[in-house]
């Protein structure tokens, strides 16, 4: 159990720059406290101390707002952000390095113990529901308020109620190692233009981005260029269309984008999306 707890803590604190920051997060992060209560309750349950496991699980739910059954089976590296409303039912199975956000529910649909079996590296957004006897593959991302009641293959991004697959995006590519494929011109490959720092030029990125936006919007009424607004008073894309665009960008530019780090400002206009992609390709980093 101690190795699993260390993995949970390390994954949550890995982005903290100093030891004092890591200690602060470990002491004051309610999501980690919910995970630690589950780990101990699960250990107690496995050693036939079921009353103690039930009491600890109850105290953990009161203190953190997350209800995680000690009978659930969860791999190492679990991270919960804002644990209020998070529910993982008895008998549910989660793989390693999964991430859950406020209000995510993994449990029964019809009763009788019909709970999900989930692979590694799940990301479940705010209010996501995964219900019933379904199998969820590795590297699956579930959008906010989505309801999943069918099995999902590896690498899929899904959203909606009922949830549908938006795109199958590979999550196995390290953005630090990603290379920009050759630009497509009339179906043929040609060498991309690059900037002085070795990254692709804005013109090349824009040329490849515009068709992605047009296909997701299914033929917008107005022409799209670098100055076109995407949010609010612009075209007015919604959250599902943003998720589709992120998947399309990952596929087109061979990137892996962590949706937890995305900001609305990255999608304010086509120009801000180009800037975001350029930074990812050159540095593999999220803009400040």
> Which of residues 173 and 35 earns the better pLDDT score?
35
In 3D space, the residue among 13, 40, 36 whose CA is nearest the CA of residue 24 turns out to be 13
pTM value > 0.95: no
Domain membership of residue 204 as a residue range = 183-283
**189 and 160 in a common domain:** no
pLDDT band for position 283 (cuts 50, 70, 90)? low
| Dist. CA 96–CA 119, nearest whole Å | 7
In-domain check, residue 288: no
pLDDT tens digits for range 32-42: 999 999 999 99
Whether residues 194 and 157 share a domain: the answer is no
> Higher-confidence residue: 59 or 255?
59
- The structural domain count of the chain equals 2
Distance (Å, rounded) from C-alpha 2 to C-alpha 13? 16
Examine the domain organization and report whether 26 and 147 are in the same domain: yes
> Residue 103's pLDDT band (boundaries 50, 70, 90)?
very high
pLDDT tens digits for range 192-248: 444 444 567 888 898 888 888 888 777 656 778 888 888 876 777 777 778 888 888
Q: What local confidence, expressed as pLDDT, does residue 227 receive? A: 84
CATH number at residue 91: 2.160.10.10
Q: Which of 120, 112, 68 is nearest to 94 (CA)?
A: 120
Q: What is the CATH number of the domain that holds 226?
A: 1.10.1200.10
Which of these, 210, 205, 207, lies nearest to 194 by C-alpha position?
A: 205
């Amino acid at each position: 159990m101690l190795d699993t707890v260390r993995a949970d803590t390390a994954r949550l604190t890995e982005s903290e720059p100093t030891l004092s920051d890591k200690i602060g997060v470990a002491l004051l992060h309610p999501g980690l406290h919910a995970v630690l209560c589950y780990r101990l309750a699960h250990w107690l349950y496995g050693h036939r101390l079921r009353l103690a496991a039930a009491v600890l699980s109850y105290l953990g739910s009161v203190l953190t707002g997350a209800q995680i059954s000690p009978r659930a089976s969860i791999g190492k590296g679990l991270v919960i952000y804002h644990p209020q409303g998070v529910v993982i039912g008895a008998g549910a199975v989660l793989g390693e390095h999964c991430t859950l956000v406020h209000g995510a529910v993994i449990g029964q649909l019809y009763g009788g113990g019909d709970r999900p079996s989930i692979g590694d590296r799940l990301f479940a957004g705010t209010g996501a529901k995964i219900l019933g006897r379904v199998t969820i593959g590795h590297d699956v991302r579930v959008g906010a308020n989505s309801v999943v009641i069918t099995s999902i293959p590896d690498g899929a991004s899904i959203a909606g109620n009922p949830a549908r697959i938006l795109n199958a995006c590979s999550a196995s590519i390290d953005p630090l190692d990603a290379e920009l494929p050759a630009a497509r011109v009339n179906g043929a490959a040609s060498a991309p233009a690059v900037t002085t720092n070795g990254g692709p030029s804005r013109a090349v990125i824009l040329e490849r981005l515009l068709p992605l936006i047009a296909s997701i919007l299914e033929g917008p009424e107005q022409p799209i260029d670098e100055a076109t607004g995407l949010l609010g008073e612009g075209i007015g894309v919604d959250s599902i269309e943003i998720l589709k665009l992120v998947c399309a960008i990952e596929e087109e530019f061979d990137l892996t984008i962590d949706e937890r780090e995305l900001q609305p400002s990255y999608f304010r206009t086509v120009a801000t999306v180009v800037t975001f992609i350029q930074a990812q390709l050159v540095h593999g980093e999220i803009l400040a």
